[in-house]
Structure 1
């Protein structure tokens, strides 16, 4: 199993790295579109719509992503993404995009409205009522969440590799911190009916790991040449130290919500993994569940920051 995991990981890294290094937008946009479409296929299968309906769901996710990107003026084929005109100037407040951001901020505010109260409701009532939600509505929800995540991926890549990696590493640090903190100190179960292994102590440990990571990354931003400010530096500049820590704790918490949400869906479907598309790792959803809320919500927080 370990050998299989390592081989799959190396293949994925070998595919991903050239798209991250490319100056053009399209290699990363298309690769991530393939993965997000596969996640749509998995979502459909986990929600009682396998076979041809799952294939149609994957195609619908890809089509919706490209249609919305085109409608918003995001160029996924050209040398780089279209950016907001420099004449707009800096603004500071909910709903206003930063200079250099192409996607209207209202998109990310919709993500906040969906993920924060919606995530809380699903985790509170999902074990009882998730399967009672009409199948079509569940599939439409999945389409919307996956589309928001892909748009956020493309926008984050346009902000610079350092920015994108800082968002990825936030999720990984929260997960690693939660794992080791939970093993060492975990006593109070977080959501035993969904994921018995998770504890509140793990959540706090994940938040602490993210805070420590932010300190290291801000030092790197200031002392080593990077292509763009990281998420942490932008939050620090825009919100101050206390505001940055609150924002990072919020994102770390939402990464847990994303993880638990996917675990709930799998439990309701009686599945251990979302699929076997990634040998040794399960499915695509298993790998990106925590990123689904964090990617768009991190961009929502950027509307509060100068940068």
Structure 2
């Protein structure tokens, strides 16, 4: 299993890195479009659609992304899109997680399909808009989620006592959440220092939030974004438990599916852009 995970990760890097550092925006936009289309297919299957209809849902998500691309929203996406995503994730996420696994299946199937399509479309738009700002900004948002996840894993293993959501994700603890937040704050301090020392033309999300919100606002914003990364992870786990699935699919051998890899990114990218529009 470990060998399979490593091989898959290396193949993904071979595809991702050239798109990430390409001067043009379209290779990254196209790669992420394929990813969210696959995520749409997985979402459909997890929510009761057959394979063919689930493919149609993935195609619908991709069509929505192409429409936004044609409208020029990559370079000038309306800030209202990010604040809409923030409202959906904060209020909707709290409502769904509060109702638990059983509550998700009680929602009408068309509503569940629409929620998934909208969230995937929004994260595509946000990720490509972040790339349009610059690689330093894009990588800093990715790193926020990675740092939160890694610090939460080790902090939870070392100090975890109180379960966060045992009916949804038994392995997560409150101590892991606090560890993740601390890891993100340490990462932010290091990245801001790097931006200043290197004279980065494109500031990271941390430098932008610090410049717009000040030190206290930066801490509050990062704690919020870390909490929302946990919400994204729990939300996808809830959907999988409702469907009786361990992974969202087997598209990525050793890693599960696309949704398993991007669940925490779903809220963080649009919410980071929303916060960067403040001030």
The answer to whether 1:33 aligns with 2:33 is yes
CA contact (8 A) 2:209 2:276 kept: yes
- 1:49 aligns to what SS in structure 2? coil
CA contact (8 A) 1:161 1:227 kept: no
**1:129-186: CA deviation from partner (whole Å, max 9, x where unpaired):** 1111111110011000000000001100001000000000000000011111111111
Aligned to 1:114: 88
CA contact (8 A) 2:47 2:113 kept: yes
**1:64-114: CA deviation from partner (whole Å, max 9, x where unpaired):** 11113323x23xxxxxx64xxxxxxxxxxxxxxxxxxx1111111100110
Flag the structure with higher helix content.
2
In structure 2, C-alpha distance between the alignment counterparts of 1:126 and 1:264, rounded to whole Å: 7
In structure 1, C-alpha distance between the alignment counterparts of 2:101 and 2:248, rounded to whole Å: 17
In structure 2, C-alpha distance between the alignment counterparts of 1:20 and 1:222, rounded to whole Å: 23
CA contact (8 A) 2:41 2:58 kept: yes
In structure 2, C-alpha distance between the alignment counterparts of 1:295 and 1:181, rounded to whole Å: 24
CA contact (8 A) 2:145 2:264 kept: yes
Give the number of aligned pairs.
Answer: 279
**1:252-274: CA deviation from partner (whole Å, max 9, x where unpaired):** 00000000000000011111100
Corresponding residue to 1:248 among 222, 227, 234: 222
Higher mean alpha-carbon deviation, 127-136 vs 255-264, is at 127-136
Where in structure 2 are the equivalents of 1:119-198 lying within 5 Å? 119-198=93-172
In structure 2, C-alpha distance between the alignment counterparts of 1:225 and 1:282, rounded to whole Å: 39
In structure 2, C-alpha distance between the alignment counterparts of 1:51 and 1:278, rounded to whole Å: 17
CA contact (8 A) 2:100 2:168 kept: no
Aligned to 1:10: 10
CA contact (8 A) 1:61 1:147 kept: yes
Per-residue deviation, 1:227: 4.3
CA contact (8 A) 1:149 1:293 kept: yes
Q: CA RMSD in A?
A: 1.0
TM-score between both structures, scaled by the size of structure 1: 0.89
CA contact (8 A) 2:82 2:270 kept: yes
CA contact (8 A) 2:102 2:242 kept: no
In structure 2, C-alpha distance between the alignment counterparts of 1:139 and 1:56, rounded to whole Å: 11
- 1:48 aligns to what SS in structure 2? coil
Higher mean alpha-carbon deviation, 45-54 vs 250-259, is at 45-54
In structure 2, C-alpha distance between the alignment counterparts of 1:11 and 1:191, rounded to whole Å: 34
In structure 2, C-alpha distance between the alignment counterparts of 1:129 and 1:64, rounded to whole Å: 28
Aligned to 1:98: none
In structure 2, C-alpha distance between the alignment counterparts of 1:127 and 1:39, rounded to whole Å: 20
CA contact (8 A) 1:32 1:150 kept: yes
In structure 2, C-alpha distance between the alignment counterparts of 1:299 and 1:285, rounded to whole Å: 21
Please, which runs of 5 or more residues in structure 2 have no aligned partner? none
Runs of 4+ in 1 over 2 A off after TM superposition: 68-71
Please, which runs of 5 or more residues in structure 1 have no aligned partner? 75-80, 83-101
CA contact (8 A) 2:47 2:243 kept: yes
Where in structure 2 are the equivalents of 1:69-84 lying within 5 Å? 69-71=69-71, 73-74=72-73, 82=75
